[in-house]
Structure formats: structure tokens, C-alpha cells
Amino acid sequence: MTTPDALSTPVFRTSVNYRTVASAITVFLGGYLLISSLSGQLGYSISSISRNPVELTAYLVLQALFALVVVVAGLLLAAAPMGMRLIAAVVVIASALIVLVTQAVTLTGSFGASAVPVRATFGNAHFMTLLAVGAGWLIVRRARVGWLALLAALILIPVPYLLVLSNIPSVITQIVSLTLSAVVGAGIIAAGRPLRD
């Protein structure tokens, strides 16, 4: 027989999909690792590979590969059709390659006067990683209006450049850029469909 106390006690159920939460956390942390590796010395090391120790270049490449593996693992963990997950992974990998090639080529002086705008966009690790990882996340989440959140990544184009022009120390520039990337990245994660889906 059911007691009155049992009837009056509310039962709370959560509908959070923990696979989606794990995917979001993995993608977010992988994005941070990818930004850190692509905004470091990797582009310079590749552009001057003949003058740098091979082991240093190998170490930096392995760091970037590990970051890519984390992001891709997060995307593959998402509850989405495999085709969408693979497309999202390809977008992220292709973007990382574009960043590295752009950084390496602009550092050799091949772009001449146009190097600054190219480096500020396609060679900008913060901007390109946010754009690619964010797009990957929105693909696996089958977002609709959430795609507008990618526009916030545009702030990462002028801010680092303006900080450099203002003679702000590179460490402060990196901290500001990483902080902005974290805020924008969190916004893109939130812009996907609700995590309980």
C-alpha cells in the first residue's frame, strides 16, 4: 500500500544525454589544445625545417596531431549519423592543414605585401580553429539558427593584430586571444541543439 508521503514526494528525472555532454567537453578541450599547438612555434618550425632540430619539429607535430585526435574523437562521440561526424572531422583536419600551410608560406615571404591579411585570417590559429571546430560541432548537432554563433569568431581577426600594433607583450596577446576563444567557443557549443537531445 502506498503511503501519502510517497505520493507527495516529487520525483526528478534528468533528460541530459551524457554522450552529448562528453562530446561537447571533448570537442571544447580539443579545440583549446589545437589552438595552443597551431598558435605556437609549429608554423615557424615547418617553414625553417632545415635550420631547426628534427626532434623539435617532430614534437610540435605530435602535439598538433594529438589535439586533432582529441577534437575528432569528440566529434565521433556525438550522437549523429556517421556521415555527418566524418564530414565534421574532415572540416577540422582540413582547416588545421590550411593554417599550417598559410603560416609556413607567409613566414617565407612568398605572399609579399598581402601576407598580413592572409596571416590574420587563414593563418590565424584562433580564428580558423574556432570556425572549423565550431562548424564541426554544429554539423554533428544538426544546428539551424546556431550557425549564426560562428560570426562571433570574427572578433579573433582584428583583436590579436591590434594588440600587436599596440606593442602589447606577446604573452598578454596570447592570454587575451585564448580568453576570447574560450568565450566564443562556449557560445558556439551552447548554440547547438540542447545538450539533452
- φ, ψ for residue 33 (rounded to 5)? -65, -40
Q: What is the pTM of this model?
A: 0.84
pLDDT digits (tens, 9 = 90+) for 129-147: 999 999 999 999 998 888 9
Q: Which pLDDT value is given to residue 45? A: 81
What is the distance, to the nearest Å, from the Cα of residue 63 to the centroid of all Cα atoms in its chain? 15
Q: Burial, 155: exposed, middle or buried (Cβ in 10 Å; 0-12, 13-18, 19+)? A: middle
Residue 153, in any domain of the structure: yes
Q: Is the pLDDT of residue 47 over 90?
A: no
Residue 180, in any domain of the structure: yes
Buried b / exposed e along 169-182 (16+ C-beta atoms within 10 A): eeeebbeebbebbe
Average pLDDT (148-173) is 91
Number of domains in the chain: 1
Q: By C-alpha distance, which of 86, 44, 104, 92 is closest to 68?
A: 92
Residue 89, in any domain of the structure: yes
pLDDT digits (tens, 9 = 90+) for 1-11: 455 555 555 54
Average pLDDT (69-98) is 95
Q: Which pLDDT value is given to residue 55? A: 84
Residue 2, in any domain of the structure: no
Residue 148, in any domain of the structure: yes
**97 or 115, higher pLDDT:** 97
Residue 112, in any domain of the structure: yes
Average pLDDT (73-81) is 93
Residue 58, in any domain of the structure: yes
CA distance 169 to 1: 72
Write out the residue range of the structural domain in which residue 139 sits: 17-191
Q: Is the pLDDT of residue 54 over 90?
A: no
**38 or 57, higher pLDDT:** 38
Average pLDDT (31-56) is 83
Q: Which pLDDT value is given to residue 194? A: 64
Residue 196, in any domain of the structure: no
Residues in the chain: 197
